[in-house]
Amino acid sequence: MNVGAGVEEGQKVEAQMRRCGDNVTRDEACGGASDTLKLWRIRVVNTVSRLTKACVLRLTCDHLYFVLSGRVATGGVSMWCELSQVNFFDEFQLEGVSADANEIFLEVAPENLSRALKTAQNAKSVKIKLTKKNCPCLTLAAELPSLSSVSRVVTHDIPVDVIPRRLWHDFREPQMPDFDVSIYLPPLKTMKSVVDRMKNLSNYLVLEANLNGEMNLKIETELVSVTTHFKELGNPPWGDDGSQSSSPTHRDPDLMAEARVDIKKLQQFLTGQQVNPSRAMCNIVHRRILHLIFLHEDVSLQYFIPAVM
């Protein structure tokens, strides 16, 4: 399927999701999901839509990525969300620019994709294609349950911009920074509640942690100083199988690493997340970057907030 102007020759993406048990042949068996879309996967897209109005959707044969490539050095936030397509689609076909560049990059408004998926979460099947209407679109066609023999199909055309290959390097996975401290986060609802209250007192928040599993959230102004302490959170065992070559074991376990960040950016991240991750952690590059990581099943979400002085 050629989608016309704005799409390089031969680019194609077609995907289909089915509800298990609905017209699935022996050779088209579902992967064990009871619904066409697991609710938490919709929540992933909802989370992305709350973090940014526009991002890049990178499609490969194995994964889907939502990418926000902000310039941390100039105060912007960055995001990298990765999902395994094999657990998202029952059928998936993609043809990129060439065999050695078999991927497609699309700029999309995640809120539009979120709305479309909400209407499709109870569908018997969902088909997604890259099409050419008045502009390039991701066309989502959802076959809804019907009491009659006539099928009901709802179609959403989601406008996208196709990113040319010369710009792809701007949307690669960010490298794991060489952090000073990595720590598991406290319960996210508790953390959000603390940040919400602190936002009423200051525009900036200091998050500090050490290798003894201790973390503090604090604000300091001319009028008030408030600190919330968390203990026994634990520190992730980065090492031979981690992105950092070795854990910072040479560091004094009691020594705090800190990042002073815009409290609104941290609050937006905590407010927007709907994934309820099985693991949540943060890495601190002292006075430079706060790197938040959420992991849940085959989904990973990374969020980078620059430190301010």
pLDDT in tens, 259-283: 999 999 999 999 988 878 899 999 9
Q: 162 and 200, same structural domain? A: no
Instruction: Answer for the pair 265, 271: CB distance below 8 angstroms, yes or no.
Output: no
Residues 16 and 146 in one domain: yes
Residue range of the domain that includes 186: 181-241+250-306
Asked if residues 191 and 185 have their Cβ atoms less than 8 Å apart, the reply is yes
In a domain, 126, yes or no: yes
Least trusted range by pLDDT, from 117-131, 180-194, 245-259, 263-277: 245-259
In a domain, 75, yes or no: yes
On whether residue 175 sits in a domain, the answer given is: no
Q: Please check whether residues 44 and 145 belong to one and the same domain.
A: yes
Lowest-pLDDT choice from 25-29, 158-162, 171-175, 296-300: 25-29
Entry pTM:
0.85
Out of 3-12, 64-73, 193-202, 260-269, least confident range = 3-12
Q: Considering the domain boundaries, does residue 257 fall inside one?
A: yes
| CATH number for the domain that contains residue 78 | 3.70.10.10
Which backbone phi and psi does 295 adopt, to 5 degrees? Answer: -125, 135
Query: Do 48 and 163 belong to one domain?
Result: yes
pLDDT (mean) for 93-101: 84
Q: Is residue 278 part of a domain?
A: yes
Domains in the chain, number: 2
Domain contains 6:
no
pLDDT digits (tens, 9 = 90+) for 98-121: 888 899 999 999 999 999 988 887
What pLDDT does 12 receive? 74
Cα-based distances in Å from 302 to 196, 229, 232, 236, 281: 21, 24, 23, 15, 10
Does 26 reside within a domain? no
Domain end position, chosen among 119, 147, 170: 170
Is the domain of 145 the same as that of 260? no
List pLDDT tens digits, range 221-235. Answer: 999 999 999 999 999
Q: Are residues 228 and 264 in the same domain?
A: yes
**Pair (119, 139) in one structural domain:** yes
State whether 98 and 211 are in the same domain: no
Tens of pLDDT along 158-179? 999 999 999 999 998 888 778 9
112, two tokens = 């539009």
154, 186: one domain: no
Residues 300 and 198 reside in one and the same domain: yes
214 with 274, same domain: the answer is yes
For range 78-104, the mean pLDDT: 86
Specify if 7 maps to a domain.
Answer: no
Determine the pLDDT at residue 145: 85
Q: What is the pLDDT of residue 75?
A: 74
Q: Which of 151, 170, 189 is the last residue of a domain?
A: 170
* Residue 14, pLDDT score: 75
| Cα–Cα distance measured from residue 208 to residue 210, given in angstroms and rounded to the nearest whole number | 7
**Are 217 and 260 members of one domain?**
yes
- Examine the fold and report which residue of 170, 201, 223 is the final residue of a domain before the chain moves on: 170
